[in-house]
Amino acid sequence: MTTEPKTKTFTPARPIWCAGCGDFAVRGVLEKSLENMGIPPHKFMFLAGIGCSGTIQNNIKCYGYHSLHGRVLPTSIGAKLANPDLTVVAAGGDGDGFAIGAGHLVHTFKSNPSITYIVMNNSNYGLTKGQASPTSPTGYRDNAETGMDSILLGLSFPSTTFLARGFSGNAAQLESLMMAALEHTEAGRGFAFLEVLSPCVTYYDTHREWRAKVYNINEEEGFDPTDRANAFKRVLELKEEKRIPIGLIFKGENTALEKLIVNENETYPALQEIGHTGHRAEYDKFIKAYLG
């Protein structure tokens, strides 16, 4: 006789990305890194924003949450503060994170919660057919603005603790960066920001251009990722030389948000009894006091 399983498990969906999309590599590397780290699905919460990149959380076996466009960071911080024992990873695109969600990114750089944030940067809005994003260069589809650099933005906050950039075309390096990001958050050291250059082969195929321009800053003799001022200087210089620095660009120390906010001696909010029966006596006391 077969017994029914007591719990239902979620079967990941098949990706709906175009063949050749850089996001496939990001998914593969994340899955491998979670396995290497021994993080089981029931302790892993994966949240994503809206965009082609945002569908990534449908494709990994874990607890997943598809947030509103641009709101993946506050939602992920909420999950981490509700249960700091969870490994929380947020993901999304350059539009989601650097346009509509830019304000949240600024505040996450400031507050330093121990979550990993993966931004799949393809320098356009892939899902809505290729409009210019904050990282698109001048001239892309008549874009009159200058593209932003998220690593320089992150370096400008004294509170940041982990800033890295990978390339989907270099899976080995991306895996070491992903592992380093997860180790950073697992150790409760704060916010791990990982931008991944992830070309959109359908609307803006930058694969060859980016392959020719990427520069592994960690292979540079004497480069010290704990030196914020030098990291800022080198990223600016490399940009002027039309190179794109990749690697672990900055690593620092700062108290993580959950350590400042969550009381470790109390039951974490997500684990507290929320059914009305558990609070009936307090509720009755409150109503009695209110009615006099």
| Token pair of 139 as six digits | 């001239």
Is there binding between residue 200 and ligand SF4 (CB under 6 A)?
A: yes
Report the C-alpha gap between 45 and 268 in whole angstroms.
16
- Smallest distance from the beta carbon of 129 to Mg ion, in angstroms? 11
Which residues inside 45-74 make contact with ligand SF4, applying CB under 6 A? 52
- Window of 73-81, 121-129, 219-227, 257-265 that interacts with ligand TPP by CB under 6 A: 121-129
Is there binding between residue 50 and ligand TPP (CB under 6 A)?
A: yes
Which residues inside 115-174 make contact with Mg ion, applying CB under 5 A? 122
Nearer to ligand SF4, 52 or 88 (CB): 52
* Stretch 58-77: interaction string toward ligand TPP, x if CB under 6 A: -----------x--------
Backbone angles phi, psi at 101, to 5 degrees: -100, 10
Is there binding between residue 122 and ligand SF4 (CB under 6 A)?
A: yes
92 interface partner picked from Mg ion, ligand TPP, ligand SF4, none, CB below 5 to 8 A per type: ligand TPP
Number of other CB atoms surrounding residue 223 within 10 Å: 17
- Strand order through the sheet with 44-48: 63-66, 44-48, 87-93, 116-121, 192-197, 162-167, 244-251, 214-216
Is there binding between residue 128 and ligand TPP (CB under 6 A)?
A: yes
Three-state secondary structure string covering 167-215: ECCCHHHHHHHHHHHHHHHHCCCCCEEEEEECCECCCECCHHHHHHHEE
Beta strand 162-167 pairing with 244-251: antiparallel
Number of other CB atoms surrounding residue 80 within 10 Å: 24
Give residues with Cβ within 8 angstroms of 162, minimum separation 6: 180, 181, 184, 189, 190, 191, 192, 193, 248, 250, 251, 252
- Smallest distance from the beta carbon of 114 to ligand SF4, in angstroms? 29
Distance of CA 247 to the CA centre of its chain: 16
CA angle 66, 157, 268 (to 5 degrees): 45
Binding ligand TPP by CB under 6 A: which of 56, 76, 94, 248?
A: 94
- Window of 77-85, 176-184, 199-207, 249-257 that interacts with ligand SF4 by CB under 6 A: 199-207
75 interface partner picked from ligand TPP, ligand SF4, Mg ion, none, CB below 5 to 8 A per type: none
- Window of 13-21, 76-84, 101-109, 209-217 that interacts with ligand SF4 by CB under 6 A: 13-21
Q: Are 108 and 191 a contacting pair, CB within 8 Å?
A: yes
Contact set with Mg ion (CB under 5 A): 93-95, 122
Contact set with ligand TPP (CB under 6 A): 50-53, 69, 92-96, 120, 122, 124-128, 133
Contact set with ligand SF4 (CB under 6 A): 17-18, 21, 23, 52, 122, 126, 200-203
